[in-house]
Every structure is written in structure tokens, then in C-alpha cells.
């Protein structure tokens, strides 16, 4: 008789241990799912930020945007250039929200008439936005730029080389992301 009671208590103890192990397994799986979700969000955020960097570098790589600024203004007076499809990883989309010259280096005031932006405008502000509608990740980056143009006398060249793009330097001065 005693052995029957012992067998029954062992069975109950085994069932309790199995329930406990099942709870541990469910917790581990839930934790892995949460970690996977956090990692996907992080990767999506990094991809969106990389897309914003690519967009800024694309714009800064073409000094013609500074030289012939007014040629890239649309009918509303906003800066508009075509963005290559492979610049930002799909399914994210990007746009140049604003690109304008400023009165001074603090970036507090933009020049109201954008047609006066040219190589004599030393300080510029660039705002780009990239959104991933699938994951909800987005970023808005504001980049301050300083434009310097060496004169022919500063570079020791002849006066007729004024249009040479190599003597235009664009430097990032400030930036922030939202």
C-alpha cells in the first residue's frame, strides 16, 4: 500500500515539474519574439538614418545644385531634384524638405527670396526626411552647410578659371536629427 501512495505523489510532483518547465519554455519563446521585434525596429531605424545620410551625400556631391540653385526651384519656389531609386533602401521613401541659403551662420533666418542664393551665400540649410511606412520608422535630418569659394588669386590660377568646380568647398557645420 505504501508504494501506491508514493507512486501517486511522484506522478503529481512530475506533473507540477512539467507545468513549471512549460511556463519557462513559453517565457523564453516570448522573450525571443520581443527581442526579434526590437531588433527589427532597430534595423529599420538604422536603414532610415542611412537613407537620410545617402540623400544628404547625394546632394552635396553635386556642386551644380549650389551654382545653379535657381534652376532647381519648382513653380512654388521650392528646391526640387530627382532622387535616384537606389539611393534609399525600399520600402522607405525620402525627400528633400528644404534646401536654402541663410543670412548668417546661426541658421535662424532664411532669405525670403530664394533667387538670391548663389556662390556668395556662405551658409545653407538642408532638411531631408526619410520614412518607412511598413515599420513606421522615420527621421528628419537638418544639416547646416558652409560654402567657400577660393578666388583665382587665392589658388594661384588664371582669372579665367572662375567656373572650375574644384575650388568650391562644402563643409557640414551643424546637424541634428528628429
Q: What is the pLDDT of residues 9-36, one digit of tens each?
A: 888 888 999 999 999 998 888 888 888 8
Q: How far, in Å, CA of 98 to CA of 91, rounded? A: 22
pLDDT tier at 4, thresholds 50, 70, 90: low
- pLDDT, residue 157, reads 56
- pLDDT, residue 112, reads 47
Q: What is the pLDDT of residues 130-166, one digit of tens each?
A: 999 888 888 999 988 888 877 655 555 555 554 555 5
For the range 46-49, what are the long-range contacts, defined as Cβ-Cβ under 8 Å and sequence gap of 24 or more? 47/89, 47/92, 47/132, 47/137, 48/92, 48/130, 48/131, 48/132, 48/137, 48/138, 48/139, 49/130, 49/139, 49/141, 49/177
Asked if the model's pLDDT at residue 116 lies above 70, the reply is no
What does pLDDT average to over the chain? 78
Q: Is 80 helix (H, G, I), strand (E, B) or coil?
A: coil
- pLDDT, residue 35, reads 85
Q: What is the pLDDT of residues 40-53, one digit of tens each?
A: 888 888 889 999 99
| Mean pLDDT value of segment 95-100 | 86
Asked if the model's pLDDT at residue 98 lies above 80, the reply is yes
Q: What is the pLDDT of residues 56-74, one digit of tens each?
A: 889 888 888 888 888 888 8
- pLDDT, residue 159, reads 52
Q: Which residue has the higher pLDDT, 80 or 151?
A: 80
- pLDDT, residue 136, reads 86
- pLDDT, residue 133, reads 86
Amino acid at each position: 500500500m505504501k508504494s501506491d501512495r508514493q507512486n501517486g505523489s511522484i506522478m503529481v510532483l512530475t506533473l507540477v515539474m512539467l507545468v513549471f518547465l512549460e511556463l519557462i519554455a513559453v517565457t523564453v519563446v516570448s522573450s525571443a519574439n520581443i527581442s526579434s521585434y526590437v531588433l527589427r525596429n532597430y534595423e529599420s531605424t538604422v536603414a532610415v538614418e542611412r537613407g537620410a545620410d545617402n540623400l544628404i551625400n547625394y546632394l552635396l556631391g553635386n556642386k551644380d545644385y549650389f551654382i545653379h540653385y535657381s534652376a532647381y526651384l519648382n513653380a512654388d519656389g521650392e528646391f526640387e531634384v530627382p532622387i535616384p531609386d537606389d539611393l534609399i533602401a525600399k520600402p522607405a521613401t525620402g525627400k528633400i524638405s528644404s534646401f536654402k541659403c541663410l543670412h548668417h551662420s546661426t541658421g535662424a533666418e532664411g532669405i525670403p527670396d530664394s533667387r538670391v542664393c548663389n556662390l556668395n551665400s556662405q551658409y545653407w540649410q538642408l532638411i531631408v526626411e526619410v520614412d518607412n511606412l511598413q515599420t513606421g520608422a522615420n527621421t528628419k535630418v537638418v544639416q547646416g552647410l558652409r560654402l567657400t569659394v577660393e578666388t583665382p588669386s587665392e589658388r594661384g590660377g588664371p582669372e579665367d578659371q572662375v567656373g572650375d568646380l574644384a575650388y568650391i568647398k562644402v563643409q557640414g557645420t551643424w546637424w541634428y536629427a528628429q
